[in-house]
């Protein structure tokens, strides 16, 4: 007969309290996505107090739903409630993070990614049980748009202002005219930002996922950069070019590759002799115990549900994971033939590495 371990009541209560917080966050996430989709936050962005009826009239929604939605936002601290007037107010700080997709702190995209993993929980559970893969292309479509909306704010805040200047000689090349490959480009946000900043250079984004390439082409057209920014369907080990690129960039995707060492070797072949490979990866320390924090919680969870399944869907299936850390990334890059590797920059969410032949 198995003996039941003794239960510490205080620890149980502490855990249940933490779970209630998690449950509230998960359920609340859907209300945030609804607010984003229906323009409810934008309708409150002027910061003026508003009633449920007024918000319903302003947004063409149902008043009773708005009363409950606003109450949920107040309970979560997203809006403020004044019981004397029975009105709600969206503070300027929350409005900044919730209403403008093109600022460095826009947050709903992350919840859209998280929602996609819940929709895919059935196929992910089967993959985890059997050790099989789930290719990027097999996920719910919210993942693709959510990923772009999640990462783009970070790129807006850091790419041209901090990361590019941190690379040796790269900004000067881009200013006078360079050729750049953005591999694993997704919806093309990073390539488009670079094309907007450096009009004398040319940029080509590559991704194996055809719907993402279609979305990237549409975005390039809408932003008016198609004269210098194009997108093609190709994998990280097969994109074209022999000693062709001054800069090759991988944004938050190397750890998703099945054969990152083989990818590194291919990048080396496509770079000019004096070219640079910029690798942007999720922030991580080399030891697991140093990643047991709020950022690591996000990335280990995403890695379980997205990154490892995607890598296992490709040849080799190395499955680095989103918390590989600098030492492991260095091993991969140098094994692919690069002789120079260093950390060029970092943020709370990313490590930026520079590799050269």
Tell me which of 99, 115, 136 is where a domain ends. Answer: 99
Residue 50 lies in a domain: yes
Domain that holds residue 203: 158-292+311-356
User: Which residue is associated with the tokens 């072949």?
Assistant: 269
What one-character DSSP code corresponds to residue 201?
S
Tell me which of 99, 124, 150 is where a domain ends. Answer: 99
pLDDT in tens, the chain (357 residues): 567 788 898 999 999 999 999 999 999 999 999 999 999 999 999 999 999 999 999 999 999 999 999 999 999 999 999 999 999 999 999 999 999 999 999 999 999 999 999 999 999 999 999 999 999 999 999 999 999 999 999 999 999 999 999 999 999 999 999 999 999 999 999 999 999 999 999 999 999 999 999 999 999 999 999 999 999 999 999 999 999 999 999 999 999 999 999 999 999 999 999 999 999 999 999 999 999 999 999 999 999 999 999 999 999 999 999 999 999 999 999 999 999 999 999 999 999 999 999
Residue 210 lies in a domain: yes
Element (H or E) spanning 348, and its range? none
Tell the burial category of 22 from Cβ atoms under 10 Å away from its Cβ (0-12, 13-18, 19+).
Answer: exposed
Residue 93 lies in a domain: yes
Say yes or no: 172 and 284 in one domain: yes
pLDDT for the residue numbered 287: 97
Tell me which of 99, 121, 147 is where a domain ends. Answer: 99
| Total residues belonging to the chain | 357
The domain tally of the chain equals 2
Say yes or no: 231 and 345 in one domain: yes
Whichever domain contains 234, its CATH number is: 3.40.50.150
Q: What one-character-per-residue DSSP string does 252-307 give?
A: S-GGG-S-HHHHHHHHHHHEEEEEEEEEEEE---SSGGGG-SHHHHHHHHHIIIII
Say yes or no: 344 and 220 in one domain: yes
* Cα→Cα distances 218→192, 221, 222, 239, Å: 11, 5, 6, 21
Measure the CA–CA gap between 249 and 226, rounded to whole angstroms: 19
pLDDT for the residue numbered 1: 58
Could you tell me if 249 and 183 are in contact, meaning their C-beta atoms sit under 8 angstroms apart?
A: yes
Say yes or no: 326 and 249 in one domain: yes
User: Which residue is associated with the tokens 């993070």?
Assistant: 97
Say yes or no: 340 and 196 in one domain: yes
Report the relative pairing of strands 87-89 and 229-233 from DSSP bridges: unpaired
Residue 131 lies in a domain: no
Task: Calculate ∠ Cα 249-108-164, nearest 5°.
Answer: 25
Say yes or no: 55 and 199 in one domain: no
User: Which residue is associated with the tokens 């998960």?
Assistant: 26
Whichever domain contains 77, its CATH number is: 1.10.10.10
Element (H or E) spanning 126, and its range? helix 121-130
Say yes or no: 162 and 280 in one domain: yes
Exposed e or buried b per residue across 104-123, where buried means at least 16 C-beta atoms within 10 angstroms of its C-beta: eebebbbbbbbbbbeebeee
Say yes or no: 68 and 164 in one domain: no
pLDDT for the residue numbered 53: 98
Residue 301 lies in a domain: no
Who's near 74: CB < 8 A, 6+ residues apart? 80, 81, 88
Say yes or no: 195 and 280 in one domain: yes
Say yes or no: 232 and 345 in one domain: yes
Say yes or no: 177 and 244 in one domain: yes
Who's near 173: CB < 8 A, 6+ residues apart? 201, 246, 247
Angle formed by the axes of helices 52-59 and 63-75, nearest 10°:
120
Residue 335 lies in a domain: yes
SS3 state at 247: strand
Q: What one-character-per-residue DSSP string does 70-102 give?
A: HHHHHHTTSSEEETTTTEEE--HHHHHHHH-TT
Who's near 44: CB < 8 A, 6+ residues apart? 50, 55, 79, 88, 89, 90, 95
Say yes or no: 254 and 165 in one domain: yes
Residue 116 lies in a domain: no
CB atoms within 10 A of CB 295: 14
Residue 29 lies in a domain: yes
């Amino acid at each position: 007969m198995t003996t039941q371990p003794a239960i510490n009541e205080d620890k149980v209560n502490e855990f249940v309290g933490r779970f209630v917080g998690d449950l509230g966050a998960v359920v609340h996430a859907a209300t945030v996505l609804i607010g984003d989709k229906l323009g409810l936050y934008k309708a409150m962005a002027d910061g003026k107090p508003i009633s449920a009826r007024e918000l319903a009239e302003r947004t063409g929604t149902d008043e009773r739903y708005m009363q409950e939605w606003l109450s949920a936002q107040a309970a979560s601290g997203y809006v403020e409630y004044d019981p004397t007037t029975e009105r709600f107010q969206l503070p300027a700080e929350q409005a900044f993070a919730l209403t403008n997709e093109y600022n460095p702190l826009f947050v709903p995209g992350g919840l859209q990614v998280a929602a996609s993993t819940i929709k895919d929980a059935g196929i992910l559970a089967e993959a985890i049980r059997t050790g099989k893969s789930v290719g990027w292309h097999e996920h719910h479509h919210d993942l693709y748009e959510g990923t772009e909306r999640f990462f783009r704010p970070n790129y807006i805040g850091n790419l041209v202002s901090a990361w590019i200047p941190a690379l040796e000689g790269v900004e000067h090349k881009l200013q006078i005219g360079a050729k750049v490959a953005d591999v694993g480009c997704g919806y093309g946000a990073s390539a488009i930002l670079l094309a907007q900043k450096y009009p004398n250079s040319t940029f080509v984004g590559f991704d194996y996922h055809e719907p993402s390439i279609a979305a990237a082409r549409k975005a390039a057209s809408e932003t008016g950069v198609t004269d210098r920014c194009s997108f093609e369907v190709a994998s990280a080990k097969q994109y074209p070019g022999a000693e062709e690129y001054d800069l090759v960039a991988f944004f938050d995707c190397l750890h998703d590759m099945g054969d990152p060492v083989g990818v590194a070797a291919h990048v080396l072949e496509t770079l000019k002799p004096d070219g640079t490979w910029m690798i942007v990866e999720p922030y991580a320390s080399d030891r697991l115990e140093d990643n047991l924090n709020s950022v690591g919680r996000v990335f280990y969870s995403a890695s379980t549900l997205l990154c490892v399944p995607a890598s296992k869907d490709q040849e080799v299936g190395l499955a680095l994971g989103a918390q590989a850390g600098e030492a492991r990334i260095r091993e991969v890059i140098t094994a692919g033939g690069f002789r120079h590797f260093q950390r060029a920059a970092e943020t709370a969410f990313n490590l930026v590495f520079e590799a050269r032949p």
